[in-house]
């Protein structure tokens, strides 16, 4: 069995179950880029869901993002109030928010206390959710043709969308 055949039979659930589960909980006050999880050079964090809540009566601006050095890339920004209840968000499969290797997970709030609970995974690299066959792909360097089940060998052109 070739390597590409093995990869093609890998289930999406296997890809999503990679790495170590991480549940991060805590409270932050008014602060810019408060580090929730410090970055490690050979690890990345995948945010899969989060819950944010506050006891403040006024609106609080809150954001989540990944930081390296002095640059922060936000993946969530919103407003939070006690009257509005907790803010809960679960990313659908394929839409999870991946950090780069070594980036820290940070939260920024404008006022008051914010309690957070973030669920994710710590992984060593981002794994794509699918593979597209094309000539010249590294997995095909030694194969003169695609397997019989591919669209190319059934006479379909690449532009047909199959």
Which helix (H) or strand (E) segment is 6 a member of? helix 3-8
Q: Which of 112, 107, 87 is nearest to 30 (CA)?
A: 112
Which fold, 10-123?
A: Jelly Rolls (2.60.120)
Residue 20 has pLDDT above 90, yes or no: no
**Between 40 and 159, the higher pLDDT residue:** 40
Q: Which of 152, 60, 162 is nearest to 109 (CA)?
A: 60
The pLDDT tens digits of the residues spanning 25-59 come to 999 988 888 999 988 888 888 899 999 999 888 88
Residue 131 has pLDDT above 70, yes or no: no
pLDDT, mean of residues 121-134:
63
Distances (CA, A) of 50 to 5, 30, 91, 150: 36, 19, 9, 40
């Amino acid at each position: 069995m070739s390597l590409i055949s093995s990869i093609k039979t890998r289930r999406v659930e296997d890809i999503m179950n990679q790495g170590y589960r991480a549940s991060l909980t805590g409270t932050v006050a008014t602060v810019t880029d408060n580090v929730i999880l410090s970055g490690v050079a050979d690890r990345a964090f995948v945010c899969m869901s989060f819950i944010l809540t506050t006891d403040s009566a006024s609106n609080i601006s809150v954001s989540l993002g990944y930081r390296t050095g002095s640059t922060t890339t936000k993946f969530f920004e919103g407003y939070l109030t006690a009257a509005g209840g907790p803010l809960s968000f679960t990313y659908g499969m394929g839409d999870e928010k991946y950090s780069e290797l070594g980036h820290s997970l940070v939260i920024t709030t404008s006022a008051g206390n914010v309690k957070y609970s973030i669920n994710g995974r710590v992984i060593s690299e981002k794994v794509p959710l699918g593979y597209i066959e094309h000539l010249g792909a590294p997995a095909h360097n030694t194969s003169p043709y695609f397997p019989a089940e591919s669209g190319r060998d059934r006479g379909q052109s690449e532009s047909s969308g199959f």
